[in-house]
Structure 1
Amino acid sequence: MTDPLLTSLLAAVEAAPADVPLRLHVAELLLARDRAAEALQHTTTALANAPGDPAALALLQRVTRALSDPPNPPTNPLPTVHPPTQPFPVRALPEPTENDPASFDWGQAEEQVKDFAPAPAFVEEAGDPVVAEAERPAVRLADVGGMEQVKERLELSFLGPMRNPEMAKAFGKSASGGLLLYGPPGCGKTFLARAVAGELGASFTEIGIADVLDMWVGASERNLKAVFDDARRRAPHVLFFDEVDALGQKRSHLTHSSSLRNTVNTLLAEMSGDNDGVYVLGATNHPWDIDSALRRPGRFDRMVLVLPPDEGARAAILRRHLEKRPVEGIDLGKLVKATEHFSGADLAHLVETAAERALADSMRSGQVRPLTMKDLQAALKEVQPSTGPWFATARNVALFANHDGSYDDLAAYLKKNRRL
């Protein structure tokens, strides 16, 4: 008989295959209805979407136990068969001949065919690590509009010692270690990392969370080691970890995920290894979520705040996004003043929104109408700076968690811009 509730839930799972709680609920119902094989399929799919999920792991144990338990004994067992009172006559077996099955060497046969036997269909293994392709950026810090304070900080704390290792050594300044770029999203941290690689004349690899994390036990650690091994072979090389807080989370927050703890431990070990000629950069929007061990000397021991673009940077960004579009009567200075606290991504979105208005008018009239200041002013009513929520969180950190002075730059900026 059909089960209306289960049928509806199965249809909901098919419509939302990534909904882990819903899929686990369906698996629970299937297990309760003695459909353990189907429950196993849904449980393993949930684990693929949420590796290490405690509820999914607990359900997997129950399903596996249900599949391995022997079936209930029949209510009407077969009658007991008693041995005959008279024993059967015993005859001597003939000696096995060469072609007799009894003389076949099964062990030798297994050795001969074991290399050709296909693996069971349900057996899967993690593949070999695949490292993201390296590139050689052509951009330099001169290509970064504005941000003079950030450039100066990069030059003094990172680039200068890297270019002049002997001079840095004479002053006791280490050229090793890593650099952490932090700040609101969309403010050009990745572009700055490429410019640093361009200044050093080094190759560059960008590593995201998808390049490291893997569902198989031990595979994430192996992927991370492969990333560093590849960077060492390419030295001089800039290894850039985007959203490094996802890979280097505080281990105190990972009590229920041993695999992620092991990944953090591997990152710590690799950054402390022999990385001569490998310059490790990281970018994050949440430096306060990074494990404190990653901030120790020899790792991400230098930190640079990347703020929303200043007036010079905003002018350069707006000019770049407007230069290939038909424009007329744009007051760039006025536009720069109106976009304070906008990130680079916000500025790109602003120009895109204004261009859509001009394009719509052009399509209605059949003639190209240039993008005007009126379009940009209308877009300013729709597009607001996205940096506000980040500064709201950062203010609490700067006020109450700046015990070692790591966020002095952030505190000074917030003090100067109290309206944020």
Structure 2
Amino acid sequence: MPDDVLLTSLLAAVDAAPDDVPLRLHVAGLLAERGRPAEALQHCSQAIARDPGNADALALLQRLTTAIAPPATPTAPPTPRPEPQRLDGFDWAQAEDEVADIAEPVPAEDDAPSPVVEDIEQPGIRLADVGGMQQVKERLELSFLGPMRNPQLAKAFGKSLSGGLLLYGPPGCGKTFIARAVAGELGASFFSVGISDVLDMYTGQSERNLARIFAEARRRAPCVLFFDELDALGQKRSHLAHSSSMRNTVNQLLAEMDSVAADNDGVFVLGATNHPWDIDSALRRPGRFDRVVLVLPPDAPARAAILRYHLRDRPVAEVNLDRVVKLTEHFSGADLAHVCTTAAERALALSMRDGRLHALTTKDLESAIREIRPSTGPWFATARNVVAFANTDGEYDDLAAYLRKNKRL
């Protein structure tokens, strides 16, 4: 078969299967060999768009761009530098030699790649993987997930799909895990952003980091953009009178969430905080973090699931899980993990002393529970004051109801 006929057939095959990257790269190579680098470059670019990390495509792209690049313009030989003159006995040549090793400052590049966009993942968990917390799941379904899954129904009832969701509650109660499960429910990418990913010591760089984060989330849509410890990043601007850089960062976050210049369609913004009362009020307005879900310490079914998870790979004898669950009321998920670790340490110490394996028992777990106090206590002490004196608009009614039922907290 003549070469031209073969190439024509291959081009037709590419048109029929445009997503076949190996075939497209083969055609690009043949075009390059036949002196048609511009067409080859077009096919190579299409291959990279479909498979950005393809090493063969990147290598071919480098060869093609080198072949297409115009020849370098010959430059005139450098003008010889005049010999430095000695003035009043000073040796200028020696002075220049002494500072020759000092590097010139490198100007900052606004389009420099941001390292924070490398942590986007595809969660494999769903809300069904979250033990217990039925009220939290129902609230998420009603206020966030349901409208996202049914945009036509949401539109018919005037339910806006813009804005974000704020998860708040005591530390260690699974807010990040729930955020990942939300991404799994939506079939979206998950992009977790910490304060260290945003804040920078150089003026204006924090704002640029935020802009790049949102730009990447828009490019990867559908994407759940999760801001952990939101109170540290979006704290009240009235508290930042002496920190103009932090005020500018809050302003940038407000602009990105309610942007006129950019479309956040497909970008679902979630935030988590232990101190929602420290977040700037502008971030709580419609179109931003206008939906709020209280994540409380795990209930009994959730505690049982967490305990099973942390005991699954440890030697366990007789454990009365119902009794342990009853004794750990108001414990956070992190506290329960600490209970299992402490009990395992006791059993390990006994095993090393006796020279034989002692499996974990209910007694070991009970001893660990007596040593550990729930870490949620200080948080609820602060929350009680907020509910008593700063709940004029009913913002924390869910928290107030929980505290009324648990007066010992």
Corresponding residue number in structure 2 for 1:154: 140
Is the alpha carbon distance of 1:137 and 1:100 closer, same or farther for their aligned partners in structure 2, counting shifts above 3 Å? closer
Structure 1 stretches of at least 4 aligned residues deviating more than 2 Å after TM superposition:
98-102, 117-129
Per-residue CA deviation, residues 145-177 of structure 1 (Å, 9 max, x unaligned), is 000000000000000000001100000011111
CA shift digits 1:288-312 (9 cap, x unpaired): 0000000000000000000000011
- Give the Cα–Cα distance (whole angstroms) in 2 for the partners of residues 289 and 99 of structure 1: 65
Matched positions, count = 310
Deviation at residue 322 of structure 1 after TM alignment? 1.1
* 2:288 equivalent to 1:302: no
Is 1:176 the counterpart of 2:166? The answer is: no
Map 1:12-411 onto structure 2 (within 5 A). 120=103, 125=108, 128-132=113-117, 133-273=119-259, 274-411=263-400
Q: CA deviation at 1:101?
A: 5.3
C-alpha contact 1:130 1:223 (8 A) present in aligned 2? no
How many angstroms apart in 2 are the aligned matches of 1:100 and 1:204? Answer: 58
SS where residue 406 of structure 1 aligns? coil
Aligned position for 1:419: 408
Q: Which deviates the most, 269-278 or 129-138? A: 129-138
User: Does the CA contact (< 8 Å) of 1:185 and 1:285 recur in 2?
Assistant: yes
Distance 1:384 1:293 in 2: 36
Deviation at 1:124, TM superposition (A): 7.7
Q: What is the Cα deviation at residue 210 of structure 1?
A: 0.5
Letter in 2 for 1:227: I
* Unmatched segments (≥5 aa) in structure 1: 1-97, 103-116
Q: CA deviation at 1:120?
A: 4.1
Q: Deviations over 1:107-156 (max 9, x none)?
A: xxxxxxxxxx9874677858642224200001100000000000000000
Aligned with 2:116: secondary structure?
Answer: coil
Larger radius of gyration: 1
SS in 1 for 2:225: strand
Residue pair 1:129, 1:222 contacting (<8 A) in 2 also: no
Kindly provide the amino acid, as one letter, of the partner of residue 248 in structure 2: N
- Output the CA distance in 1 between the equivalents of 2:80 and 2:157: 86
Per the alignment, in what secondary structure is the counterpart of residue 371 of structure 1?
coil
Deviation larger for 317-326 or 199-208: 317-326
For residues 272 and 385 of structure 2, what CA distance do their matches in structure 1 show? 20
Report the residue type matching 1:176 in the other structure.
Answer: S
**Taking structure 2 as the reference length, what is the TM-score of the superposition?**
0.73
The alpha-carbon deviation at position 324 of structure 1 amounts to 1.3
The letter of the residue matching 1:138 is G
Q: CA deviation at 1:415?
A: 0.6
RMSD: 2.1
Mapped to 2, the partners of 1:216 and 1:405 lie a distance apart of 40
Q: 1:360 to 1:293 in 2, by over 3 A?
A: same
Return the offset for 1:380.
1.1
Aligned partner letter, 2:274: N
Any stretches of 5+ residues in structure 2 without a counterpart? 1-78, 84-99
Q: What secondary structure, in the 3-state scheme, does the structure 2 residue paired with 1:315 have?
A: helix
Kindly state the Cα deviation for residue 381 of structure 1 after the two structures are TM-superposed.
1.5
1:370 offset after TM fit, Å? 0.2
- Once the two structures are superposed, residues 193-226 of structure 1 have per-residue CA deviations (whole angstroms, 9 ceiling, x without a partner) of 0000000000001000000000000000000100
Per-residue CA deviations over 1:57-106 (Å, capped at 9, x if unaligned) read xxxxxxxxxxxxxxxxxxxxxxxxxxxxxxxxxxxxxxxxx99959xxxx
Q: Give how far 1:365 is off.
A: 2.2
Identity %: 73
CA distance in 2, matches of 1:164, 1:217: 43
| Contact 1:131–1:230 (CA under 8 A) maintained in structure 2 | no
